Amino acid sequence: MRQFGTRATLAILCIGLTDCVNTTSTSINAAAGSGGAQARRVVSIPKSALYRVADKIVRTDADTILNYWGAVDSNCTPEKYQVIKIVRDPAHGRAWLADYKTHPHFPSQNARYKCNATPITATALHYTSASGYTGFDTIGVMVADPHGNVMNVAMRIRVVSASDSSAADNPFPPDDI
């Protein structure tokens, strides 16, 4: 009887969670090992569980802003992101979040182009490598915009020596992620 109770609890939990996760599923027929067709369920992963990847090149021992997040509404009023959280610390350096004064960068055909003249406070992701370190590092960041849309970002970092000219290939402002 105890085993039935556990299964029933799990079934109720799964049914209760079906409305919490936004997924779509499709049934496909795949060839089974015995030559017959077998129905399989394919589940689409919600966008909030996927990672966007951004590659950056930084110089060793330098405080570098890898990206920043900020928003304005249609009246040019700054909006703060709901959550910006480092979910995976770098293995070979230090990452932190700090306020950053900047201006939006809307193209001229955007209705909020006029907001480009209004300074906003965004949240910047800073990175400094361990002293003298060169090589690769990664930072995981979770971002929820003012409307609640969640995005996960994997910052892949190549740390080069101060004399390496390839760091110039890393233009700023940051990628639109």
Domains of the chain: 47-169 (2.60.40)
Q: What is the pTM of this model?
A: 0.66
Q: d(Cα 138, Cα 56) in Å, to the nearest integer? A: 10
The yes-or-no verdict on residue 127 having pLDDT over 90 is yes
Listed range (73-77, 92-96, 137-141) with the worst mean pLDDT: 73-77
In DSSP notation, 92-135 reads SEEEEEEEEEE-----TTSTTGGGGGS-EEEEEEEEEESTT--E
Q: What's residue 90's pLDDT?
A: 97
Q: d(Cα 5, Cα 58) in Å, to the nearest integer? A: 55
Q: d(Cα 137, Cα 155) in Å, to the nearest integer? A: 8
Q: What's residue 107's pLDDT?
A: 93
29-80 pLDDT per residue, tens? 444 455 555 555 555 555 556 778 888 989 999 999 999 998 899 899 988 8
Q: d(Cα 83, Cα 148) in Å, to the nearest integer? A: 9
